[in-house]
């Protein structure tokens, strides 16, 4: 290939690189947007199953029951073990700082205990003094929903546990420290009680809107990539047309 032709081919290749990059970005972002929409469809089906499950009448389970679906409504009967109450720190309600109060309930059937998130309580001005949140005495009958403990989150706290104050719930560590035969799941109390705690729980959410939002972002980026690719092609064609119309020197 003559040197001039070789240089021309190299220039054409370099000129095509931005277009190829734009088209690759367009294909990638459209693919990611489609994937997020498929995830949203999956979460829509999951949300429907959760809502159908949450609408069922409460059932009674033993503490050693396994493979219990999250959000299943339960009816529990037993007595509170107040000496094993813990408070989860950094829980907010209506913009106010506070704690979630968790107390084990020894089931009346003798199968063990279930850790119950009884609700939210506000923090005092002196954070070194924990608020009193004693449960009602005697036998109790309450209703709630099954929740599976979350994975340990990132925390800046030097210690995850300081006495009754916990930064997050580590059910394995709590089982070891309390010595109780605990269910592998916890219960979020929904029935009322004369304990002054707030039980304004968030509704079950599978995260549908989050995936739709991600899909919109990917499609918006795909639109930008398509626009820039079209603009680049038009600019190249316009420049080539301009070059062809220039008068050639003899």
pLDDT digits (tens, 9 = 90+) for 23-41: 899 999 999 999 999 999 9
Distance CA 133, CA 156 (A): 26
Distance CA 63, CA 65 (A): 6
pTM recorded for the entire structure: 0.71
pLDDT on residue 229: 87
Burial of 160 (0-12, 13-18, 19+ CB in 10 A): middle
The residue among 120 and 232 whose pLDDT is bigger is 120
Task: Check pLDDT > 60 for residue 248.
Answer: no
Average pLDDT over residues 90-108: 95
pLDDT on residue 246: 65
**Residue whose C-alpha is closest to residue 164's, from 151, 174, 175, 176:** 174
Q: 13: which 2 tokens?
A: 């290749």
pLDDT on residue 108: 97
Q: β-pairing, 86-93 with 165-166? A: parallel
Task: Check pLDDT > 50 for residue 5.
Answer: no
Question: Are residues 68 and 250 in contact, defined by beta-carbon separation less than 8 angstroms?
Answer: no
């Amino acid at each position: 290939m003559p040197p001039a032709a070789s240089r021309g081919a190299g220039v054409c290749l370099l000129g095509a690189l931005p277009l190829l990059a734009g088209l690759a970005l367009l294909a990638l972002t459209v693919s990611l947007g489609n994937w997020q929409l498929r995830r949203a469809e999956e979460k829509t089906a999951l949300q429907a199953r959760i809502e159908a499950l949450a609408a069922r009448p409460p059932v009674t389970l033993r503490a050693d029951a396994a493979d219990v679906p999250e959000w299943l409504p339960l009816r529990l009967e037993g007595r509170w073990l107040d000496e094993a109450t813990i408070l989860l720190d950094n829980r907010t309600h209506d913009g106010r700082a506070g704690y979630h109060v968790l107390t084990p309930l020894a089931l009346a059937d003798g199968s063990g205990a279930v850790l119950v998130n009884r609700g939210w309580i506000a923090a005092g001005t002196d954070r070194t003094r924990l608020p009193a949140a004693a449960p009602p005495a005697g036998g109790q009958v309450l209703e709630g929903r099954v929740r599976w403990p979350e994975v340990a989150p990132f925390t800046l706290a030097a210690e995850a546990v300081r006495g009754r104050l916990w930064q997050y719930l580590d059910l394995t560590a709590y089982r070891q420290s309390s010595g109780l035969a605990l269910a592998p799941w916890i219960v979020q109390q929904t029935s009322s009680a004369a304990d002054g705690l707030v039980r304004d729980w968030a509704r079950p959410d599978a995260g549908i809107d989050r995936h739709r939002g991600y899909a919109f972002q990917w499609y918006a980026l795909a639109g930008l990539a398509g626009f820039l690719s079209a603009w680049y092609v038009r600019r190249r064609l316009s420049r080539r047309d301009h070059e062809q119309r220039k008068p050639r020197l003899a």
